Structure 1
Amino acid sequence: MAASEDPEIPPKLRAVRPYLLLAKDHDKRDPLVAYFCRRYAMETSLALDKQDKSPDHRGFLFSLMDGLEKSKKEQGSNEILASELASQAHVENCALKIFVYADNEDRAGRFHKAMVKSFYKSGLLFDVMQTFGELSDELQKTKKYAKWKVTYITGCQKRGETPHAGPLDEEEEGGAAFPDNLSFPTNPDQPSSSSSSFPPPASSNPPPQQPSSTYPPVNQHLIPPGMHAPPSTPEQPGVYQGGIPGPTQTPPSVDGFPKLSTSEFTKAQKYCKYAGSSLQYEDVPSAVGYLEKALRLLKTGKE
């Protein structure tokens, strides 16, 4: 479904507009991600349409469905599309790639338009992942953090303030890193009324260069979903990256290998899926990193 074929959105279904724009952004970059953005827009429209059976709503939905069917036929040779599990891993990897880029820029104090848009797009893609089912707790946290960052940074822009790099100090914020009641902007490109740009960061970092239209390579040490730690955080015995307590003792072994729980087997499977999805982007460092994590988990019972 080409971007030019997206139907006109009825006023009462405007909530799906960001996802159709995100689909348009991925039409050439990643048609598979674009397909699932439109599928999520269609599913959301169907849910909203329960309260309105008007002809323009019907026409919009039928047009979306026809476009999705056409897009699916065009990608008939894509093996990932044939598996919901592989598709889920593909979209998740894309969302995490964009999030990690934005998080790295934010932590380095490089506050610029592309960074805010990347947080924004990753938040939308985590929404899109709900087309495969409910998000895990870790991905819910990552989604919430990405959306909060957009709200927080754009708020600082409007007030002419320099944003705080990285997560806020929980002690300074009364024990809450970010609020529960988020107000996610529908258009982060909209200029603010009080300031058109961020004030220069207090650090001595040089001005950032605007990235190209394609996503920059992801750091091979990806931030685990929901664990907002710098990519350089060293691994420590008994601690996962991100400072989350991990197993401190080696589990009992079976045939020389540790006896893993169901959740640990599931995690190893997800690492392997992420590796396969990374290879779709020809991202060898990330693929190797995921495979090493899977092997380490299977061999030692630890990450």
Structure 2
Amino acid sequence: MNKKCFGVDLGGTTTKIGLFQLDGTLIEKHEIPTNKEENGIYILDNIEAFINNVIVKNSLDIKDIIGVGIGVPGAVTDDGVVNKCINLGWDVTDVEDIMKKKTNFKIKVGNDANMAALGEYWKGGAAEFSSIALVTIGTGIGGGIIMNGRPINGFNGAAGEIGHIPIVYDETETCNCGKKGCLEQVASASGIVRVAKKFLIATDKPSTLRGAEEISAKLVFDEAKNGDIVAFEVVEYITKYLGLALANVAGIIDPECFVIGGGVSAAGQYLVDLIAANYKKYVFHPCKDTKIVLARLGNDAGMYGAAKLVIDSSKDS
């Protein structure tokens, strides 16, 4: 009854660390800076040290800690090897093996978007479904796939990278990934701002966006809800591509549910309804009634998913 685990969501700026009971109860959570100096060589040491501090502070018996799950912002193979992580400065890194040697705990490692998806599947907006695809719409667009409770990593650890599906065929600018026409270029928070500025240049229609000190994705959605014509045209444009992208994903994995998370999901049901309308236009007919719901765990989803990953692994071993 006293068994516990840690769920770690390793981000480019901060690292979230949660102590969990095995039923998914979050006992306490913390956030520490992610030290990326010298190509991130201190990151895993810092996580180990903080976990040890939590154990000591709470007078925990290490025999009661079943392990540590870690979500990493990069492609991760099934055996816990991170296939490079530019945001952290890492080359190919066997995080699972390194952390096992540092902590003597069972370690399980997964992609951060997959961990967020697993968290939403376990305790969030998709808890009633058996297979889901999470789309996180923030500064970029990430994705995670859960099938029958298991994250799908793919051979190269890159499954679920919906943000880099090349879908905007007339795009002339280059994405951060080096390709052109990625979904992320038009439908991420930064992509929405980019599209809005293009629309404002291309039309002389009146718009409250023109007088804005700074255009943001939130402002675009707020003004669209308020009836601004140009803002609504931008929203129609980006949700067309989101719906089309989800339709393409459905044609391959056919999930029971899509979950929309990330900062842009604060637009709420308004965003979901527009995505769903476009999804139904493009999707193969057997998949047209697939649910599209909002994420519920916010920034804690990755911690929950990482904890669930190591809990499930301990059951399998």
TM-score category, normalised to shorter length: under 0.3
How does the TM-score come out when normalised to structure 1? 0.28
Query: Which one scores higher on RCO, CA 8 angstroms, separation ≥ 6?
Result: 2
**Higher strand content, 1 or 2:** 2
**Higher percent of residues as helix:** 1
Q: TM-score, normalised by structure 2?
A: 0.27
